[in-house]
């Protein structure tokens, strides 16, 4: 697989991570009202919280997302063979990346993390006991 195709694959993965981060709070909000067990899933919620805290911490400390770094490195390696991104990759890139000062992103990510922490506190995930899992209970 070429470096350009790998860069596109990383970009798609990055977009999926962003979708996960943005959509899980809505899933919790709607799911709790509709009684969806997924809305209270401990593995889903803890993974979401850790990703959000990682992104917020990275922004606060001036870090760059590893997926962004990987994609840029692959695009750089493919620069001589690749005129530009494909149509879908171009639009995903426009959707994910904005030109703004770092403090804007840090403020947005920390605010989002606070919202996720509030959601965790207000509607905490549920851990099923081992015996309940064996019986198939919730």
**C-alpha span between 13 and 73 (Å, rounded):** 15
pLDDT of residue 84: 61
Q: What is the pLDDT of residues 8-50, one digit of tens each?
A: 899 999 999 999 999 999 999 999 999 999 999 999 999 999 9
pTM to 2 decimals? 0.82
pLDDT of residue 3: 80
**C-alpha span between 113 and 110 (Å, rounded):** 5
- Judged on CB neighbours under 10 Å (0-12, 13-18, 19+), 50 is exposed
Spatial CA neighbour of 102 closest among 51, 68, 52, 60: 60
């Amino acid at each position: 697989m070429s470096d350009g195709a790998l860069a596109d694959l990383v970009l798609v993965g990055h977009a999926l991570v962003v979708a996960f981060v943005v959509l899980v709070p809505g899933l919790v909000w709607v799911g709790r009202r509709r009684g969806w067990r997924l809305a209270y899933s401990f593995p889903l919620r803890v993974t979401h919280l850790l990703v959000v805290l990682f992104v917020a911490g990275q922004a606060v400390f001036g870090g760059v997302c590893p997926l962004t770094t990987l994609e840029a490195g692959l695009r750089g390696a493919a620069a001589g063979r690749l005129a530009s991104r494909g149509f879908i990759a171009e639009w995903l890139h426009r959707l994910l990346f904005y030109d703004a000062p770092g403090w804007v992103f840090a403020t947005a990510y920390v605010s989002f993390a606070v919202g996720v922490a509030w959601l965790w506190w207000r509607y905490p995930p549920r851990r099923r006991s081992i015996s309940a899992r064996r019986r198939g209970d919730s």
